[in-house]
Amino acid sequence: MTSMGIYYLTRLLVTLAAIPVHEAGHALASWLMGDPTARDHGRLSLNPLRHFDLLGTICMVVAGVGWAKPVPTDARRFKNPKLGMAAAALAGPAANLILAYLSMAVWKAVYYWAPDNLLSWYATYFLQYMVVMNVGLAVFNLIPVPPLDGSRVLLVFLPRRAYFGLMRYERVILVVLLALVWFGALNGPLAALNNWMWGLLYDGTAWVDALASRVTVWGLVSTGTRV
């Protein structure tokens, strides 16, 4: 397989993991907070077919920006509708960050302890891209403009009338946002946020590095090598 084929295959496999985790995160949070609508519609699942929009998935694989089927919610079933909607929205990016953290920890473990062969190389490449896509998906969705997840947080702070007045234009805002991303107008801010989040995850998995150092020292001591 060519390097380009490996690249797009990796993007596809990572998308098959990142999107269901994101959408199931919304569904799980809604259910835990009293709204079973998403669960009843089969969205509390890691099955990609429950979540994928065909065009959105193709765009995600090819261009790096895409979408899935919206997760249905009924704000009336939350004890506090504003907080419920905000928490359910934030659960998607949070799920991606958890997956990114786990992927980075395993990535480091493979780097330190896996044998040096082609399988280890691909596992490292896959896990690295898992971190990249999940961090990117989380950061992008936290932008506080409709219809992204971050906009639901505005419901907590804006008057109800102002919020729903803004939401009337969410499709127009989405087109403008995608155009800005497509033409690179947001590359600088998004790259800065992605790098900052990457640094947090790297520091948060420093325990893997520390463990690898201890294992190395124990190995040297056990063989009688001077440390």
**Tokens found for residue 126:** 């896959």
- Whether the per-residue pLDDT at 158 is higher than 60: the answer is yes
Gyration radius from the chain CA atoms: 20
Lowest mean pLDDT among 3-12, 97-106, 159-168: 159-168
Query: What positions carry a catalytic annotation?
Result: 23
CA 131 to CA 17: how far, in whole Å?
Answer: 11
Q: How far does CA 99 lie from the centroid of its chain?
A: 7
**Residue 130 or 2, more confident:** 130
User: Do the beta carbons of residue 134 and residue 96 sit within 8 Å?
Assistant: yes
In the chain, at which residue ranges do the beta strands (DSSP E only) sit?
Answer: none
Amino acid at 44: L
**Residue 55 or 192, more confident:** 192
Instruction: Give the pLDDT of residue 222.
Output: 61
- Whether the per-residue pLDDT at 102 is higher than 90: the answer is yes
Instruction: Give the pLDDT of residue 227.
Output: 47
Lowest mean pLDDT among 23-27, 93-97, 198-202, 218-222: 218-222
Instruction: Give the pLDDT of residue 166.
Output: 76
| Mean pLDDT value across residues 31-56 | 93
User: Do the beta carbons of residue 81 and residue 91 sit within 8 Å?
Assistant: no
| Mean pLDDT value across residues 105-123 | 94
**Could you say which DSSP state residue 75 is in?**
G
Instruction: Give the pLDDT of residue 220.
Output: 58
- Whether the per-residue pLDDT at 110 is higher than 60: the answer is yes
- Whether the per-residue pLDDT at 203 is higher than 50: the answer is yes
